[in-house]
Structure 1
Amino acid sequence: MNDTEVTVVGNVVDSPRRVRLENSAVTNFRMASTARRYDSGKQEFVDAGTLWVDVEAWGELGGNVARSISKGDPVIVRGTLTTRSWESEAGRRSAPQIRATAVGPNLARGWSDFHRPARPAQAVGQETGAVPESEPTPEDEQSARALADEFTGGDYGSGSGPLYEVDSEDSSLEPARV
């Protein structure tokens, strides 16, 4: 396979949205990663370009993201980079998207308390009765993309201005909806 694996460090710019589908569940959020460089003429750090990217986290990872990540949080996301495309009134549109394999807080910007979910003790030869979430089916992924288009109105809008203004130092935190 020729998957493009990426790691992106940035800030969550909207509250994660958890959606249950027929066979699985997905959590979506948007993040921004702004490059900074030192300007020796100004003797200060200045912002360079910003990468805006949609993130989808499936299954148990998505549930943990919905419980743990909020708007404004500094995060590190690892996953497969793709381009999501759709038709809008303005024509064909596209946006980068990461199918996350790992999401975590950026501990260079603060601290965190990690909680491992309790696993029920299992007797030898007995089933727990719990049904694990399966990998998403193509129908689940199509439903998730349709919901994402509905959430964004199918388009991010026109103009060259930023989609979101984020200052992680001043952002108010909003809890994820589970």
Structure 2
Amino acid sequence: MNETMITFQGWVGSEVNCRDAGGSPLATFRVASTPRRFNRSQQNWVDGETNWYTVNAWRTLALNCAESLESGQAVVVFGRLNAQVWRDDNGVDRLHNVVEAIAVGHDFTRGTAQFHKSEPGSRDGIDPQVLAEANAAMGVGGPQVTSNGQTLDDLVVKEDAEAPAA
């Protein structure tokens, strides 16, 4: 399957809206990306036309985006680009760019941030087993792996083994 992958930088242009979508968290927000070019004849920088993207982030990435991002912050987004085309009430074709995010982060060329690692199961109301099952069912990119090399499945099995017998 051919997919268009995109990496872009821009500014968060809306509040992050986080909701439940079919049992998985989904965060949606808009990002404005304006290219800048040097105009040699005028000897100055000129802004190009602003591109707007709707970014959809799922599961743990959704929760982290909702907790970390605010309107006006500089971000870098990597994900799958989908172009949605429709005809408006005036018969004009419109294009809407939607990015299914794989990774989102603050753009450190524009400022600083503090990183706080989220631990599996540390999110209120999110069960690691449910996340593991949802990720497995979606088949997206294989198992979720922690920074120490464990998968969520390994952690859930370990927690179940350590739990006292009822």
What TM-score do the two structures reach when normalised by structure 1?
0.65
- Point out 4+ residue stretches in structure 1 off by more than 4 angstroms: 85-88
Indicate the residue corresponding to 1:117 in structure 2.
Answer: 118
| Equivalent residues in 2 for 1:72-111, closer than 5 Å | 72-86=72-86, 88-91=88-91, 93-111=94-112
- CA displacement, residues 144-178 of structure 1 (integer Å, 9 cap, x when unaligned): xxxxxxxxxxxxxxxxxxxxxxxxxxxxxxxxxxx
Distance 1:29 1:2, change over 3 A: same
Matched, 1:4 2:4: yes
How far is 1:23 from its partner? Answer: 1.8
Find out whether 1:71 has 2:71 as its counterpart.
Answer: yes
Amino acid at match of 2:99: I
Residue 132 of structure 1: SS of its match in structure 2?
A: helix
* Greater CA drift, 99-108 or 41-50: 41-50
Q: Secondary structure at the match of 1:131?
A: helix
Q: Structure 1 residue 85: deviation in Å?
A: 4.2
User: RMSD in angstroms over aligned alpha carbons?
Assistant: 2.4
Aligned to 1:131: 129
**Which 5+ residue runs of structure 1 have no aligned equivalent?**
121-128, 139-178
Higher relative contact order (CA 8 A, sep 6+): 1
Unaligned runs of 5+ in 2: 122-126, 139-166
Q: Structure 2-normalised TM-score?
A: 0.69
What percentage of aligned pairs have identical amino acids?
Answer: 33
Give the total of aligned pairs: 130
Which amino acid in structure 2 is aligned with residue 49 of structure 1?
A: E
Mapped to 2, the partners of 1:73 and 1:43 lie a distance apart of: 29
- Between 81-90 and 108-117, the greater mean CA deviation after superposition: 81-90
Q: Residue 54 of structure 2 aligns with which residue?
A: 54
Which has the larger share of helix? 2
